[in-house]
Amino acid sequence: MRPIPPEARQSLHHLVPKLKGGKGGPVVRLHQICHNEIHATLTEGELARSYATVEALRAHPRLAKFIAWVAQRPPGFHSKTPGARRKR
């Protein structure tokens, strides 16, 4: 797990999306680039049904590949995430 320096772009991720009943539920602080990748990869429904834990998110093949890639970058690294690439 990469540290999140105070100056890095970051946000809170609701493990169960707010629109799927997760308002007030558990959240995790993430680098913004990681949060963007999660939402570019998975729909709200997929997140609620199958990816409502950090372990499940890390096990997703595309996210695992992204995590390995971004782990080689400095903790404050950020780049623009291309548009949504998930199948709807």
Between β-strands 27-31 and 10-14, what pairing exists: parallel, antiparallel or unpaired? antiparallel
Looking up tokens 């169960």 gives 16
Model confidence at 83, in pLDDT bands (50, 70, 90)?
low
Average pLDDT, the chain: 90
Please tell me the pTM assigned to this model: 0.86
Q: Calculate ∠ Cα 11-16-21, nearest 5°.
A: 120
Of 46, 40, 51, nearest in space to 80 by CA: 40
In this predicted structure, what is the pLDDT of residue 80? 76
Instruction: Tell me the CA distances in angstroms from 11 to 8, 39, 43, 61, one per residue in order.
Output: 10, 13, 18, 23
